[in-house]
Amino acid sequence: MRLITLGISLAGLLVVAGCASRGEMEILQRDTDEMKTRIVRMEKDLRLAEAQQKELDTLRKGTADLQATLESARVDMQVLTGKVDDAALLAKKPTDDLNLLREDMERRFASLDERMAKLEKGLSDTAAKEEKSPEALYQKGLETFRNGDMPKAREQFSRFLELYPNHDLTANARYWLGETYFGEKKYDQAILEFQEVIKKFPGKEKVPAAMLKQALAFKELGDVKSARYVLKKLIEDFPLADEVKPAKEKLKELK
């Protein structure tokens, strides 16, 4: 509604302004339209920042600062809109007064340009932090795995293990690394990766899953004895794990 009022005010000013030239009023209209475009663009950028904020809670403070910057810009826009709404009063004043208004708007444009640059930099920094975070790298590996690109997923999980050997998700990354080999029927390598999970992360929840998949890999290689041994150990060591039921079923099949 404010934008409609802005357009009506400018149109009325063009009609009644006796001292201001048509060209000057057109410039004022163009400058105001440019302001509206910038505000729309900043609002889109803010929505993107808010979406990114939901993905990584650690970036909430930075996104809140960006939102405060945009809110300040909106206040300036309201001030400018009010000035243009009152611009019809300049019809009885010298053209110099209109020029003063234009100069004021130009100063405010310059201020908004600085804020826009800050907003864009903040969004860029937010995206860079997300791309570099361990959680983002891990999720990227999972998405790649689910899309069926095993070599690429393996590369991403290996990169995660190289950069974050002590992260809480390290055991999970090692497990999914084994899954990439299993998915390509490279069972020997899968067994080794699953063994790394079992040996290095005994308290992690991925251990029962690694044992189940390791047993299945042994079965695919025709090593039934090893498959049975791993399944029995899984059932004994983790009686409450979700993998116990499928482990018992597989054990019956191997009799």
Residue 228 makes CB contacts below 8 A (sequence gap 6+) with: 215, 251, 254
Q: Given a cut of 70, is residue 195 above it in pLDDT?
A: yes
Predicted pLDDT at 110: 73
The model's pLDDT over 158-176, given as tens digits with 9 standing for 90+, comes to 999 999 999 999 999 999 9
Arithmetic mean of pLDDT, 144-148: 95
pLDDT recorded at residue 255: 72
Q: Are 175 and 209 in contact (CB under 8 A)?
A: yes
Question: In this predicted model, which residue has the larger pLDDT, 50 or 150?
Answer: 150
Over the chain, what is the mean pLDDT? 76
Please give the share of the chain, as a percent, with pLDDT higher than 90.
Answer: 45
| Contact between residue 230 and residue 215 where contact means Cβ atoms under 8 Å apart | yes
pLDDT of 55 strictly over 70? no
Between CA 230 and CA 236, with CA 231 as vertex, the angle to 5 degrees is 95
At residue 61, the pLDDT reads: 60
Q: How confident is the model at residue 30 (pLDDT cuts 50, 70, 90)?
A: confident
Q: Which residues contact 80 (CB under 8 A, 6 or more apart)?
A: 32, 35, 105, 108
Location of structure tokens 């050997």: 165
Condensed to tens digits (0 to 9), the pLDDT of residues 101-139 reads 667 767 776 776 676 666 666 655 554 454 568 999 999
Looking at residue 39, its pLDDT comes to 72
Question: How far apart, in whole angstroms, are the C-alpha atoms of residue 113 and residue 71?
Answer: 14
pLDDT of residue 87: 54
**Domain coordinates of the chain in residue numbers?**
2-132, 134-253
- The pTM assigned to this predicted structure is 0.51
- What's the confidence (pLDDT) of residue 167? 93
Give the architecture-level CATH label for domain 134-253: Alpha Horseshoe (1.25)
